[in-house]
Amino acid sequence: METDIDLYNFSDELVEKNCLCCAICKDILRPPVMLIENVGNICTPCFDEKHEDMNWRYLNNYALENILKMVKFPCKFKSKGCNDRFSYEELTFHQTNCEYRTKLCSMFKFTACEWEGNTTDFIDHFKEYHGDHVIIFEKNLFYLETSLSEVSLVKLLVMKPHTFILRMQINLSRKKLFYIICSVKDDYSSFCEYSVKHKGASENYIKTKSKILSSYHIHNEFDENIAVEVDLEALRQVSQISDTITNIFKIKMEESQAEVIDEKMLHFFECPVCKNFMKPPIYQCQSGHSVCNLCRPRLEKCPTCRAIFGNTRNYSLEGLTTGIRYPCIFHDSGCMEISSVSDILKHESECPFKPYNCPFKDCSSTGNHEVILDHLLSFHFNSVIYGDMAGYTESFRLDQNSYSNKIFERKCVIAFNHIFRLTCKRFAEHCLMAAEICGCKSGEKTFVYEVAIIDMSRPEKKLIRTDYCLNEMPDDELFKRCIMFPNTVLTSYSNHGMVTFHFMIKQK
């Protein structure tokens, strides 16, 4: 009995002797096959191109077509290491994308790089010679700032064990942004799709979704027809972009069966206003349409049927929430947490992917916890203190001429993996000190701040006040709830006109 190996050896011999190849282009024949008198078997493209000029006598070679349908052909890059075999229908596509195919560097247009080689070597080459275009990220999320003056770009995206290529192009004449993501090794079976948030100066954004493409599109001309399209004019209006676009990419991993079921159920819990998933309490209009508890106070009429809203609860829908696992509300920012409704609410209050504003109010930077920490150390280094244990000590001059009823100091304290903002304000009669925990709504009554006024001439003499750290709030409200030191008391602790205080964050 013949084995597959025998058949493979036989088909290889037929290919080597050109028995299954076009007599003109020498490529593997593809049905329909034309047998030309005094020429031989040729493929349809060659026949269509030359038949009218040559006036051939021909007939269809059905016998050879049947043989072609049975043969598994070797890849033409076999000598370079590819051992895969394909039918004639699959062969052309494979050879176009074969990882052993000799490929040009995708940075050629930008750097005139003349490298060429196979897929594995391409990744090593890109990392070594174009390292400033490599983005290494975890948890399937990465940020990319795009300038409108940068017409096109290429980035290697490394998310072990997978590697992708991002190609982005801006067409200013059409006022469009185009992009694609391709799998370098075509190992994207677990990463079928991805989403992108496109943002500007405002909190609003435009979101796009697409699928990861094959490596074919890495080394060929950029095709706007298959790329994702973003309207720059719409983005300018929605997100207030100027010269820079913030793109937040999230690659979606393959879902388990349980996650698929949860996602199908969650579809019925989507709020028609904010598009987030409704959690108890859930309110309904007179016609039975439901909205979430965050949107309800802003609505007078139902957005679906325009019926009047009362305070009617949808208890049936609320009851069903106990059997559903909710994704974190910050899943588009990279959080992978999925949990019950009670547990997810607690998680969301302290989620590390929760968006933060920079604690310094004259700065407009935003990002998740890690991004803001990096931003603080890069741009506000002199005003950042790490205070996990000892806290920090500072002094100020108790001089009535300096009283201006203005905030005289803001500091940012990093403690217990949280960000705290310390604000001091002086009046003619007293000095106020407040501490806010940034970004985390569960921080109140979890952390306290301690301020100790120290007489430096007699360090054992201290005035200590302690209060709960507050959630972020407007200054007017903040200074109604903070620690107050009368200046008459501070005077008794001053040393040569200087008042020294020690500040510390403590966890209860």
pLDDT per position as a tens digit, 373-393: 888 888 888 888 875 556 788
Topology at the third CATH level for domain 4-90: Herpes Virus-1 (3.30.40)
Q: Which of 506, 436, 404 is nearest to 465 (CA)?
A: 506
Confidence of residue 168 (pLDDT cuts 50, 70, 90): very high
Contact 483, 470 (CB under 8 A): no
Q: How far apart are CA 167 and CA 106, in angstroms?
A: 9
pTM listed for this prediction: 0.45
Report, as an integer, the average pLDDT of 205-214.
86
Cα 139 to Cα 251: distance, rounded to the nearest angstrom = 9
pLDDT digits (tens, 9 = 90+) for 44-102: 888 888 877 788 888 888 888 888 877 788 887 777 778 888 887 787 777 766 767 77
Q: Is residue 256 very low, low, confident or very high in pLDDT (cuts 50, 70, 90)?
A: very low
Percent of the chain at pLDDT exceeding 70: 88
- Report the top-level CATH class of 103-252: mainly beta
Contacts of residue 205, Cβ cutoff 8 Å, sequence gap at least 6: 197, 198, 199, 238, 239
State the amino acid at position 242 in one-letter form: S
Would you say residue 370 has pLDDT above 80?
Answer: no
Common-topology check for domains 103-252 and 356-507: yes
Other C-beta atoms lying within 10 Å of the C-beta of residue 147: 11
3 state DSSP class of 394? strand
Architecture of domain 356-507: Sandwich (2.60)
| Domain ranges across the chain | 4-90, 103-252, 257-349, 356-507
CATH 3.40.50.10540 assigned to 257-349: no
Q: DSSP letters along 409-456, please?
A: EEEEEEETTEEEEEEEEE-SSEEEEEEEESS-TT-BTTEEEEEEEE-T
**137 falls in which pLDDT band (50, 70, 90)?**
confident
Mean pLDDT of 425-446: 76
